[in-house]
Chain A
Amino acid sequence: MATRTITKDIITLRGSAAIVSEFFGYAANSILYNRGIYPEESFAKVKKYGLPLLLTQDNDVKAFITNLTAQLSEWLESGKLQRVVLVIMSKATSEVLERWNFSIETDNQVVEKGVSREKSDKEIMREIQAIMRQIASSITYLPCLDEQCAFDVLAYTDKDVEVPFTWIESDPKLIANPQMVKLHSFDTKVMSYFVLSSPLYRRFCSNREPIVLDVNLWRYLCRYTRLIHWFPTKMTNGTNNRHGIWCVS
């Protein structure tokens, strides 16, 4: 009788950082498309993670995201990156409308000792697909952004990180009195993961009073979460993903 064997791939820190930063790039593009930050015609369809995803064709945005993901990968490899926040602001008033919070926990054992873990590719792909679908489905309960908006990316790093010359220190661009909405959560095997956060949203009603709807995903520690997954993949050079992505419900 034939039995199904579960294949597991070796996961290292470098590959994990590369995959996580790549995922952030695709997630940022998905958010920009779904929230209408840039017009639809400026996006092109590509196949990634077994899903049809949309990537911006604007050269400036592309270059920005590429430089960003490169820096994030560097910080992830050193284990210094704590959080990445994608902020959507009004162009006219520079007011923060939405805040997508991606929290990261890196396994210190892997960073210090360089040990590796194992996880199957299929499971990784499945988890990424689930997260990308959740991003796409978040527009069903988020209100439309009527005004012209811009986006920015904030990186929460350790205090001792050397600031590159293309980066500066910034305020956290918080929203006053936000409302929090939590989405699905995933736990990881080796404890490194992104937290997808839904946006913090601020909307004006007809009488011009601000109503703040803050949708924020937060991470849970392993003992508090139920479904926790990795999404490491196997790289040709043997380096694999060490970070996991999970969403909170």
Chain B
Amino acid sequence: MIVRTPTQRKRRASTTDDDYSVFTPNQQQLQQQQQQQPLIIYEDDPNESSHPNSSSSSHQMLCTYQCRQMVKSEFLDAFSTAEKQLRDYQSKFESLNDDLCKSEIERKKYYDQLSYSEQELAGAKGREKALQEQLMKEVTDSQERFQKHIMSHSELEVKLRKEVDVRRHAESSAASAKEKVNLLEEKLNNLSESTEREKNRLHREIARLKKESKLSVSRISANLERMECRASYAEKESELLKRQLEDHSKQLNECLHQKSEIERKLLSFTFPSQEVSTTEVYTLVKHLQEELRNCESEVQEARRLKSLSDNIELMRERLSEEKGRRERAESELLKLQEVQLSMKELEDELMLWKFAIKEIPGISCSDDLPIKFAGLQKEVVDNMMKVGEISARLKLTEVALEAAENGKQLTETEAALTKEKTEELTFELKRLELTLSSVSGERDRLRNEANTWKKQKNVGPAGEIKNESLIQELEASLAEKECSIRQLENKLSDQKEVISRQYKEIMLLTERLNNEARRIKSLEREGDRLRSEISLLESKLGHGDFSAASTKVLRMVNTLAVDNEAKHTIEALRTELQKTKDKLQAVEELKGQSDVGNLIDADISEKLARLKTQIATLEKREERYKTVFAEKISVFRRACCSLFGYKILMDDHQRPNGIPVTRFTLQSIYAQSDDEKLEFEYESGNTNILANGYASQSEIAHQIEIFVRKMNSIPAFTANLTVESFNKRTLS
């Protein structure tokens, strides 16, 4: 059976290619089915009879031979056209295959590029991750370090505040101590000035008193010497008289013995020899009477001598008494001077204490003074202790400050390093962003190209779907990375803000540190100044000054000098005692001998009288000489004074080594005050000028240097001084 096919439209040859393209997929599928299915000639199918339903169709499908031929021709035409179309389609297919290959190649290329860019992205992301991790680590480390530094800074700040407070307290206490020290120093200066003035005045008075005492002592010594001479003379006389007394006593005894014999003889001779020798008896009696008278006169002389010796003893006793009185007077004078000195010192001290009581606040009576001074001293000592402690703390804080500064420098360097690193990271980020942007641009371009390629070819959906899924995955990953990059950027910006804040804080802390360092230096200078003041005060204390409130100075009473003097005096007294004892014994012997009865020879009485007259004449001559000498010496002194212009006072002294020297005091008649005196010492032909207040003046000392030391001429010096003082007097 021939399948009756509907008549096909007659197609134009030009439109065949176009129609091919216009065919719908269903039509294309039908054509393909038709092409695939073989042409079956429709014949009546014997089976159709059996199938009455199919007969209608066969009737419909029956055509004539012509129709068959026509159909054949049409079929052949269609077949040729189909073959043409096929060829066209094949060529198109080939071209499309070529295009597909090209597109595949290009797709592969793009895929490779994509993979490369993905790899680059992954690498960049890895690097970014690593950098971010490193950054995070560094940021965390720097944060930790900053936190630590901030903690340390805060601790140091607290310490600094404490030290500043302590320093303020110490400064205030040091200032108050300084003020007190200044006040005390002023008082000390005033006290020292007043003591020096008093000392000078006392020295002058002592010098004057010494001179007066020396003059009095010299006078007394002269008197003593005179008395001693008299006493020695009297002793010698008494010895002589004693010897004479002894002789006379012996003679007396002999006379008595003779007298007794004579009396015996007289008694024996009275009876028998009355007639014989009356004249002899008369002469004997007369002789004896004369002798008796002589003896009586000698006894009277002896008694007078005895009275003289008693007087001598009395005088000696008086001498010793006067010596004792003189010594007592001298000792009392010394004591008086010491008492006066101590009195004046006490008065001065009282005045000073009164002034101190008035000036120092918080004191109502003198008992409060030592307490106040002790308190002040304690305060000073405490303040010095505090100053020492503060200086030690200052040193510790300096050390801590130095450590903090070092730490600050370290942190600054680290901050600079982190800054640099952050800058590098930012640069890196920017670069990555640029690469990302470039990669995203590339991606977009690729995407557009892929879309265009998709549009051009709706073939191979599976590979394209894969590519699209890959691209979508890449895009999704890119989007994620972009989000993470943005987050990191946000974090970086936050950290930058934190770093900038910390940097500002560090700058503030460094400014504070610098201020504190300056304050520390100023405090160090003050501490050095206080230490120098302390050393000065310590040197003053070391000089020997002491606080009378807490300290007293003691010394042994019986010093070696006193012991020596006492020993000397004891020895001298012992020798004098021995001498007086010897004299007493001698006088007692004399007394014993003179009590019996004295026979004095006429020669001895004459000798005595002669000696006495000689003594009297010598004494008179001595007194005359003295008066004449005094007159002459006064005339001589007045003449010297008028001729040379100086009042000269002569005084004898004895040096500690026992050498006697003569001291001359010269006062110019043109002197304007009593203090202008020159002192010279004369010893065995050498004259030396002595130092005193007047000679130590600059002008006088200069003249002494020139005339005395260099030119060795004291007269030239005195003459020059006279001329200068005369000029001053006349000018004034």
Show the binding face of A for B, using Cβ within 8 Å: 60-61, 64, 67-68, 82-83, 85, 91-92, 99, 101, 103, 147-148, 150-159, 161, 163, 165-176, 178, 180, 197, 204, 206-209, 214, 216-220, 223
**B560 contact from A64, A154, A207, Cβ within 8 A:** A64
State whether A85 touches B542 (Cβ < 8 A): no
Residue pair B542, A217 in contact (C-beta under 8 Å)? yes
Pair A180/B554 contact, Cβ less than 8 Å: no
User: What are 29 A-B interface contacts by the 8 Å CB criterion?
Assistant: A64-B559, A68-B556, A83-B546, A85-B544, A91-B656, A99-B544, A152-B555, A154-B553, A155-B554, A157-B554, A159-B549, A159-B551, A166-B557, A167-B557, A168-B555, A168-B557, A170-B553, A170-B555, A172-B553, A173-B544, A174-B545, A175-B544, A180-B539, A207-B704, A214-B543, A216-B543, A218-B538, A218-B542, A219-B542
Complexed CA–CA distance, A191 and B675 (Å): 53
Chain A residues contacting B704 (CB-CB under 8 Å) are 207
- Residue from the list A155, A158, A175 in contact with B550, Cβ < 8 A: A158
CB nearest neighbor in B for A218: B542
Q: Which residues of A contact B507 (CB under 8 A)?
A: none
A220–B534 Cα distance when bound, in Å, is: 11
Q: Are A92 and B560 in contact (CB under 8 A)?
A: no
A172 to B552, CA, bound (A): 9
On chain A, the residues within 8 Å of B541 by CB distance are 218
Complex Cα distance, B695 from A82, in Å, reads 42
Q: In the bound complex, do residue A155 and residue B553 qualify as a contact, i.e. CB atoms below 8 Å apart?
A: yes
Interface on B for A, CB 8 Å cutoff?
196, 388, 538-539, 541-546, 549-561, 563-564, 655-657, 690-691, 695-696, 701, 704-705, 709
User: Chain B residues with Cβ under 8 A from A61's Cβ?
Assistant: 560
Q: Quick one: which of B546, B552, B564, B696 contacts A209, CB cutoff 8 A? A: B696
When distances are taken between beta carbons in the complex, the residues of chain B under 8 Å from A161 are 552, 554
Check if B551 sits within 8 Å of A174, measured CB to CB. no
* A166 engages B705 (CB within 8 Å): no
State the 3 A-B residue pairs at the shortest beta-carbon distance, nearest first: A208-B691, A218-B542, A170-B555
Summarize B's interface: helix, strand, loop or mixed.
Answer: mixed
Residues of A contacting B709 with CB < 8 Å? 206-207
Asked if A178 meets B554 with Cβ closer than 8 Å, knowing A64-B560, A208-B696, the reply is no
Q: Which one of B543, B558, B561, B701 lies within 8 Å of A207 (CB-CB)?
A: B701
Q: How far is the CA of A235 from the CA of B551 in the complex (A)?
A: 31
A92 with B656: CB separation less than 8 A: yes
Distance of B211 from chain A, by nearest CB (Å): 15
Docked Cα-Cα span, A64 to B559, in Å, equals 7
Known: A166-B556, A208-B696. A172 touches B544 (CB 8 A): yes
Give every chain B residue within 8 A of A152 (Cβ-Cβ): 555-556, 559
A60-B560, A64-B560 known; A174-B553 Cβ under 8 A: no
Of A153, A169, A204, which one neighbours B691 at CB under 8 angstroms?
A204
Shortest Cβ gap from B382 to chain A (Å) = 14
How far apart are the CA atoms of A152 and B557 in the complex, in Å?
A: 10
In the bound assembly, the distance between CA atoms of A178 and B539 in angstroms comes to 11
Q: How far is the CB of B572 from chain A (nearest CB, A)?
A: 18
Docked Cα-Cα span, A184 to B656, in Å, equals 37
**Cβ-neighbour of A67 out of B539, B556, B657 (below 8 A):** B556
Query: CA of A158 to CA of B690 in the docked complex: distance in angstroms?
Result: 43
Given contacts A161-B552, A218-B538, contact A148 B656 (CB under 8 A): yes
- Residue on B nearest A75 in the bound complex, by CB: B554
* B656 with A82: CB separation less than 8 A: no
Cβ A159 vs Cβ B550 within 8 A = yes
What is the chain A residue whose CB lies nearest that of B389? A223
Establish whether residues A168 and B554, one from each chain, have CB atoms under 8 Å apart when the complex forms.
yes
Cβ A167 vs Cβ B563 within 8 A: no
Closest residue on chain B to residue A58 by CB atoms: B560
CB distance from B600 to the nearest CB of A (A): 54
- Residues of chain B contacted by A64 (CB below 8 angstroms): 556, 559-560, 563
* A114–B30 alpha-carbon span in the complex (Å): 132
Please give me the residue from chain A that is nearest to B541 by CB atom.
A218
Q: Which residues of chain A are within 8 angstroms of B690 by Cβ–Cβ distance?
A: 208
CA distance in complex: A119, B655 (Å): 53
Pair B551/A176 contact, Cβ less than 8 Å: no
Across the interface, which residues of B come within 8 angstroms of A101, CB to CB?
542, 544
